[in-house]
Structure 1
Amino acid sequence: MINALWITLIGMGLVFVAILLLWGLMALLVRVTAAAEPEQAAVVEEAFPAVALEIGSSQDCKRRAAAAAVAFALALEQQSRSTVSNHRAVPAAGVSAWQAVNRSQQIGQRINTRKKETR
């Protein structure tokens, strides 16, 4: 009996030590990666300098309008595909197969219990 308790305590202790170790590693990774992110953002800004856009270019405006129209049409199509109907399918006989099986089992149980009571 005492050996079983010791095994349980050792096992629980190992589990908690492992959880604390993983928690510490995650905290360390968060601190290390949080310090590295601002440096990467600065590099990205230097790699892609701001480009001045020509306001008077009608060709550019037409391209942007076409791209916006395509994006809007794709969003509408995706939304219409993901729409769920609120209508429920009506079973052919009014009762699904699962309901019919469960009801027949309940009726069978009631008949069996009544037969036992009358004896």
Structure 2
Amino acid sequence: MSELLSQGLLMTLIGMGLVFLALIFLWGLINLIASLPIGTKEKEEEVPAAEETQVEAAAPPPAEDDRQVLRARAAAAAVAAALAMQRSAMRVAPPAGGAISAWQAARRSSQFALNAQITSRKTRSSVR
């Protein structure tokens, strides 16, 4: 009995160890992928010094304008999403007063038949 218990504990330890090793491996893999510089592009040409001074001389736009632009974009995205949801909700709704399909009628009749069989079964006391 103790040998069987020790084998079970050893198998449990091996299984748990493998699970934790797999989790550590996946954690490291995710960290490696997250640290890769994807989407950053290096500049191929250096900007001449004269152009840099012109860019620096221009006044940066006020932060309030940026916030208004972001708010306007967010509002436009919200309206577009709401309209898309509204259109899809209209398509999903069944037509009012329309006839059901043959598939629905067949499925409903089979469900009614199953329910009738369940409720009209004989009880155990009457079966000999």
- Name the TM tier (shorter chain): 0.3 to 0.5
TM-score, length basis structure 1:
0.48
